[in-house]
Amino acid sequence: MAEGSTRVRKVVLVSAMAALLVPLVVQHASTQGQTIAAQRRAGPQTGPIPRLPDGTVDLGDGVWTGGGPINDIEQEGGLKKGEIEALLLPWAKQLMATRDVTQEPHNRCLPMGIPRVTPFPYRFVQNYTHRRPTHMFILQEGNIHSYRQIFMDGRKHPADLDPTWYGHSIGWYEKDTLVIDTVGYNDQSWFDRRGFPHTEKMHTVERWTRLDKGRMEHRFTLDDPGAYMRPWTVTFMARLSPPGDDLMEYICTENNQYGVFSIPGWAEKFGKPQ
């Protein structure tokens, strides 16, 4: 009898495993031979939100693209043209007017900053100890190869911070939303190619909400009394990259020739590339 029930359990287990594998095999077969770029164009993956054993939303089941501005934070963030521009303080408006695309920090292999993204993917990696999750890292392929560190252990922001590109981030979950609260930024990054500025007073709150298998909404709220009249919010959609896509090496300084030969007067202005 005991032997019989073991056999039944084995049959049930094997059937369940097969049932789980079938969709994976079908999905693999349907995308076989297609490049990552082609699979991305086919649209986001569908299916339920994947979860960790404790029920927490799992953000680590692949690499992500999108979810932030590249060219125009107003347009890409779901606002009308001029909405953020109208909130700039006069000095910040003047600064922005002096900026052109050739002055972008990332042309010299400096970070894109927050909330800007690139065409290259990033991965959320949660670090655990035997007690609990302690950190979330966001590993960025490009541009540049870098990472963000988010403290998930309940600590607060220190009172006195020396400014940095990515600031000091603390994070927590609210249902299926990862909330990241950051202060301590420097004023170096641009939000987009248009050159929206910010100051060291910037405080940001990112709300990353997984909607399903393939999509994650990023609701980004910025409060920077140094540069803007009041806080504002923009919303983006990140997509899970197709299975098989992983972070690749991206060393921006290995062959960055930006402007050196192509833009008249570049070397006099900026020197050789980093």
Partner 1 sequence: MRTMLAVLLAGCTLSWMAAAADAHHAIGGEYDPNKPITLKGTVTRIEWTNPHARIYFDVAGPDGKVVNWNVELAARSALARQGWTARSLTVGDTVTVEGVLARSGVSMVNARSVVLPDGKKVFSGENQ
Binding site for partner 1 (CB under 8 A): 33-38, 40, 70-71, 100-102, 104, 106-107, 109, 118-120, 141-143, 193, 245, 248-252, 254-259, 261-264, 266
Measured from the CB of residue 68, what is the shortest distance to partner 1 in angstroms? 14
Residue with Cβ nearer partner 1 (91 or 100): 100
Residue with Cβ nearer partner 1 (149 or 274): 274
Q: How far apart are CA 48 and CA 174, in angstroms?
A: 18
Measured from the CB of residue 73, what is the shortest distance to partner 1 in angstroms? 14
Measured from the CB of residue 266, what is the shortest distance to partner 1 in angstroms? 8
Residue with Cβ nearer partner 1 (66 or 167): 66
Q: How far apart are CA 261 and CA 122, in angstroms?
A: 31
Contact 44, 214 (CB under 8 A): yes
Strands 215-223, 203-210: pairing is antiparallel
Measured from the CB of residue 11, what is the shortest distance to partner 1 in angstroms? 40
Nearest CA-CA partner of 107 in 193, 199, 185 = 193
Measured from the CB of residue 230, what is the shortest distance to partner 1 in angstroms? 30
Q: How far apart are CA 58 and CA 49, in angstroms?
A: 8
Would you list the DSSP string of 25-78? Answer: HHHHHHHTT--HHHHHHT----SPPPB-TTS-B---SS-EEESS-SS-HHHHTT
For the chain, what percentages of helix, strand and coil (3-state, to nearest 5) are there? 25, 25, 50
Residue with Cβ nearer partner 1 (172 or 266): 266
Residue with Cβ nearer partner 1 (22 or 246): 246
